[in-house]
Structures are given as structure tokens and as C-alpha cells.
Chains A and B, each alone.
Chain A
């Protein structure tokens, strides 16, 4: 057997169609996929935003106030709302896909995929409650 069989793609009589640049508009599932890919930009933005917040807090109260004023302008508000939506999309799609990537065995048995997804959501809820708790205690 030829292990490095080389496939020669050119043949004058075969008919080929090119993938359109707008292939991702043709189907809802492709479009959702592109949105998920796009969400990574917003995830990166939120990381940067948080770093700026931490830097401001560590500098001085004035800097922190400046940061708050900056965040209050309509452009930043809409950007952050949009980011929140994309991050929710990112988290939900990620959690739903996790069971396909992870196979967990407990006591010699394979856990059903739904359990893996549910435990991800449970983790999200738990972390959210802790953060909410911290905020409420402050007030």
C-alpha cells in the first residue's frame, strides 16, 4: 500500500464549485457558528476592560472615578451591553458543546452528556451567586 499516496487535485474535466465568501449566511447553524467565533473578540475586550478597572482601582480614588465616568458614556455602555450578550452566547454554546469533547467515567461507567452540561451550568450559577453575595454584603 502507498502510505503517502498523493492526491492530485487537478483534472480538466471535473467540475468544481467555489465556496462563496458568504457561505456563513446560507444557514442558521453556520451563522451561529460565526457569531460564536466573533464572540472571542468581545471576550478579549472584557479582559482588557477588567484590567483597566484593576489598574484604575490600584492607582487612586480619582482614577477610579475617571474610569467610572468613562464607562458611563453611551458608546462604552452599548459596547459593554453588546459584549455581555456575546459572552452569554459564548458561555451557553460552550457549555452545550462540552459533553461532546469530554467523556467522564465514574466508577467504570460513562456519565451521560447532559450531566456534564448541567454541571457546567451549575458551576456558573454557583459562581454568580458568590459574586452577587459579595456585592450585596458590600451594600
Chain B
């Protein structure tokens, strides 16, 4: 195995050019280096103008999402040695506008996230003196998988539907809606259903399934969306058969 690897890094510098170009950097490639280590090496020693996001280095903050050889990946969880002898192409996440180099604009995702009310909704709050809302381990298991989402947006980058129709509310937002719907303390499912049963909600999804494949946290957003569809269809049938009971 060679101890060096070449990174082709996408550069977009709006003040200089209106198109993306690629810069090649030859880096050392110790086996414990992830793509993010490579980028930090470039930034520290080769080209300080390279822009990219990162924070935790351990797959928690969700800020280092980018395309590595065309696949949406967390740069801090993708080993360079897996791509030896290279070269490795590093690009900003697909389906988002690029602000600079590897930094994408995520305002769209943020506004979609707030639309699904990702917090516990209560019709009537208990007074504080009644203590906390209790939950059994079984009740926790119902939604735990969906609560693992780190908002890295890899799933949006993998989703061709979102690429074609940016109005689609998208995988992670729906998975997070499910996270709260399935929480025994929450009472907001009906409110969320109103937003998600719109045209740009769950029915926009045609189950390509790529979101689930790229998710670094095994959230299975595709599964969340299909479960939602099933639930919504069942409610529709119920309302049809028993118009009164469904209200």
C-alpha cells in the first residue's frame, strides 16, 4: 500500500469564478486518517483558503457531510485508506446550493425541520408539581432509532426526489416527525400529519431507499416515511368507513 494519496477537492470561489474547479493535493495516508484529517492537513499546511465544515470529529455533530467519490459521507467517519491508492474526489453535498468550496447552504433543511414541530407537543401541559412524564424502556425503543438523527443531511444529498423537487420535505424531517409521533409523551401527531400529508410531504417519496443506505446513524428514514404512508392510508380508510369515529 502506498503511503500517499491524492485528493481532488472541489473548489468554488464565487469572487473568482462562477464554476466549480478541482484542486489536487497529495497527502500522506496513515491508516488512521479519515477524509477530515486529510482536509485539515491541507488547510494547515498546503492551502489555508480551503473552506469546509466540521466540529466534533466523531460522527455526532453532523456538520462534515460531503461527497467522497460521489457518495454522501461524513468526512470524519470515512477512512482515506479505504480509498487507497486513490485518487479520491471530495465534493460538497449534492442537491444543495454551494456557498464556497465544500460548504453548502442548509437554510432549506432548517426551515423544513421547524415545520414538522420537532419537539414534544402537549394539548395540556401537566403542572410542574406533577413531576416528569414517565416512559418505559419499551416506549423508548419505539422511537429511539429515529432520535439518533444528527441532521447531517446525507439523506437529502442521496435523494433524487429532493434533487428534482426541492419542495419535498425530505427524509430526515419526516423521520424526525416520526420520532416525536412515536414518543408516548407526545400529542402532536395530528398536527404533524397535516403538514406531512400535503403533496410535498410523505407522498412525494417514491421509495428509492437511498436515504436509508447512506444514513450514518441507521435511522432508516425511508422506513419512517413508508410507515407514515401506511398509517395515513389506514386513517383515510377509517375516515371513509367510519366517518364519525375518526373525528
Contacts and interface: CB of A to CB of B under 8 A. Distances in A.
Nearest to A21: B164
Given A1-B114, A6-B111, A15-B97, A100 B220 contact: yes
Nearest to B141: A110
Contacts of B141: 110
A101 B221 CA distance: 11
Interface residues of A, number: 27
Contacts of B94: 17
Contact of B97 (A11, A23, A37, A102): A11
Interface string A8-26: 0101011111010001100
B26 interface: no
Interface string A62-103: 000000000000000000000000000000000001001111
Contact of B209 (A5, A33, A103): A33
Q: Chain A interface secondary structure, helix, strand, loop or mixed?
A: loop
Interface in A23-51: 23-24, 29-30, 33, 37
Given A3-B114, A30-B160, A14 B99 contact: yes
A108 interface: yes
B210 A13 contact: no
Give the contact-size bracket for chain B: 35 or more
Contacts of A103: 227
Contacts of A139: none
Q: Tell me if B's interface is mostly helix, strand, loop or mixed.
A: helix
B226 A14 contact: no
B150 to A, nearest CB: 21
A17 B229 CA distance: 31
Interface of A: 1-3, 5-7, 9, 11, 13-17, 19, 23-24, 29-30, 33, 37, 97, 100-103, 108, 110
28 contacts: A3-B115, A5-B111, A6-B111, A7-B108, A9-B166, A13-B14, A13-B99, A14-B14, A14-B97, A15-B12, A15-B14, A15-B19, A15-B20, A23-B164, A30-B208, A30-B210, A33-B207, A33-B208, A97-B209, A97-B226, A100-B220, A100-B222, A100-B223, A101-B226, A101-B227, A101-B229, A108-B138, A110-B141
